[in-house]
Structure 1
């Protein structure tokens, strides 16, 4: 069975699921809830609890491995699949660090290759054998879910707005131009932290990530309109700074059509104005699109018989 996982700094995504990339260890003490609780090696972990500190090297500790097990459990449940099975993981890395990080990340996920891994999730037992790990360049692979986007454009800019990084690449005639790949540490975590500080300075209120995300996404919230206005104001400031960084990186969005994706795409697209002069904008709002692209990539490699 193919299970694709997008190991984001802000969220973990599969074909059907998405949850925050936070994880809270409880040791051998059973936590207050069964929801999102992973049991592994005699210890309890609550997955999806906020966000963890930025971890540039995702192999530095076991957090992303544990989140991988939680993602597999959620995806199997979403598919109604057996809790004992063999799995091929399809995952991704940024183009700018793909070659450098690929061996270590594959080894990290494949630590028990060919041997079953037993764990529990939300009170149910799982016995999963990770048989293979296939890694793909993130961002560009997601475009496999939208083949028509490439049909009539000789060049375009792909803007993948993640939790910590914003990955940029130019695509010429349907192929990524490797020399143009950039990764900016200017993702949505930076935006949310700056919004929180701006609101605290102006109102004294301490907002949660969830409240800020709700307003930035244009969804209803019981905060006063003056506070919501401050949040939207900073959403626009972040968008202006991001567009400026894109230009400074050598990408002329006045001339290049822009495909926006990632968890921050909905926020940025809401705060773009006609006066910004973007040539053409296409927004992929589903934050699971990278994971869906990885599964399409495996299907392309293995042919139509690839199962997932």
Structure 2
């Protein structure tokens, strides 16, 4: 079974599920049907309070558990279509930000693979056994780019800038005629979590209100909220200032957005879709927004299947 998991700083994404990058230990056992996982005798349940940013996600077991939880959700969904008795072989597809890919790829692969040993766990108090037959690590943002590259004929352009606005980081890379430019790949620590903090501070100072991240998401997505118009207006003003500053950073990095085709990916880009359209008039260049939070996961699978096809031909 081939399963992709995008281990984001804010959200975990699989083929069919999106949930917060947060877990907490539960002292009591997981009940039948309860959304939780038991691994090595410890019970974990989902938590909307995300994990504090980790530069190296292999530093502890939390992203391993979160990934296992995503796999468990997919296995339950596929009940009846896969063999759930005995050991289930899984090819795991994961990704790293462009700035971390080169130096962390091998460690990230080993973090999950662990010599292919059988992994025993309970999900919703039901037993599962899996083994990772292979773990493939791909470059986030580029995976999302590949998902739309052919449809939008992006390989025909001399410069395509991919901007992935994620939870903690904004990842970017330049692609020239379909080829990644290794000298123009990096991550900026100015992701959407930075925006949340700015908005929270600004609203608290002006209106003595405390907004959590879900409140801010609802405002920026223009969902119905109980907040007065002046709070909504100030939230959008802060978000627009953040976006203007972020895009201005690329000129300092030697990238003139006016001369590139720009592709926005990631949950943060989706959140800021309307503001990107508003701000973009000053650049007068072509841009696209990949309106799919699971684009990286789908891109992982597309790359893996392409590799399999290439291997079959040789």
TM-score by length of 1: 0.92
For 1:16, what is the secondary structure of its paired residue?
Answer: coil
Please, which of 283, 298, 303 is the counterpart of residue 289 of structure 2? 283
Instruction: Establish whether residue 21 from structure 1 lines up as the match of residue 24 from structure 2.
Output: no
In structure 2, relative to structure 1, the CA distance for the partners of 1:236 and 1:35 (3 Å cut) is: farther
| Cα distance, 1:152 vs structure 2 | 3.9
Instruction: Establish whether residue 38 from structure 1 lines up as the match of residue 74 from structure 2.
Output: no
In structure 2, relative to structure 1, the CA distance for the partners of 1:245 and 1:115 (3 Å cut) is: same
| Cα distance, 1:128 vs structure 2 | 1.2
- Distance in 1, matches of 2:107 and 2:244, equals 36
| Cα distance, 1:62 vs structure 2 | 0.4
Unaligned runs of 5+ in 1: none
For 1:220, what is the secondary structure of its paired residue?
Answer: coil
**Contact 1:19 / 1:48 at 8 angstroms: preserved in 2?**
no
Instruction: Establish whether residue 296 from structure 1 lines up as the match of residue 302 from structure 2.
Output: yes
Counting only pairs closer than 5 Å after superposition, residues 1-308 of structure 1 correspond to structure 2 as 1-26=1-26, 28-30=27-29, 35-80=34-79, 81-82=81-82, 83-84=84-85, 85-111=88-114, 113-146=115-148, 147-149=150-152, 150-272=154-276, 273=278, 274-303=280-309
**Number of aligned pairs?**
304
| Cα distance, 1:48 vs structure 2 | 4.3
- Distance in 2, matches of 1:30 and 1:194, equals 39
**Contact 2:156 / 2:178 at 8 angstroms: preserved in 1?**
no
**Contact 1:266 / 1:283 at 8 angstroms: preserved in 2?**
yes
- Distance in 1, matches of 2:19 and 2:264, equals 21
For 1:61, what is the secondary structure of its paired residue?
Answer: coil
- Distance in 1, matches of 2:244 and 2:237, equals 11
Unaligned runs of 5+ in 2: none
In structure 2, relative to structure 1, the CA distance for the partners of 1:19 and 1:263 (3 Å cut) is: same
**Contact 1:22 / 1:47 at 8 angstroms: preserved in 2?**
yes
In structure 2, relative to structure 1, the CA distance for the partners of 1:97 and 1:133 (3 Å cut) is: same
In structure 2, relative to structure 1, the CA distance for the partners of 1:36 and 1:228 (3 Å cut) is: farther
| Cα distance, 1:219 vs structure 2 | 2.3
Return the structure number with greater helix share.
2
- Distance in 1, matches of 2:32 and 2:268, equals 30
TM-score by length of 2: 0.90
In structure 2, relative to structure 1, the CA distance for the partners of 1:30 and 1:208 (3 Å cut) is: farther
Runs of 4+ off more than 6 Å: none
- Distance in 1, matches of 2:310 and 2:41, equals 40
For 2:163, what is the secondary structure of its paired residue?
Answer: strand
- Distance in 2, matches of 1:251 and 1:291, equals 27
- Distance in 2, matches of 1:128 and 1:177, equals 37
- Distance in 1, matches of 2:30 and 2:120, equals 20
**Contact 2:170 / 2:189 at 8 angstroms: preserved in 1?**
yes
User: 1:239-292, CA deviations, whole angstroms, 9 ceiling, x for partnerless residues?
Assistant: 111111122122111111110001111233311325422401100021110011
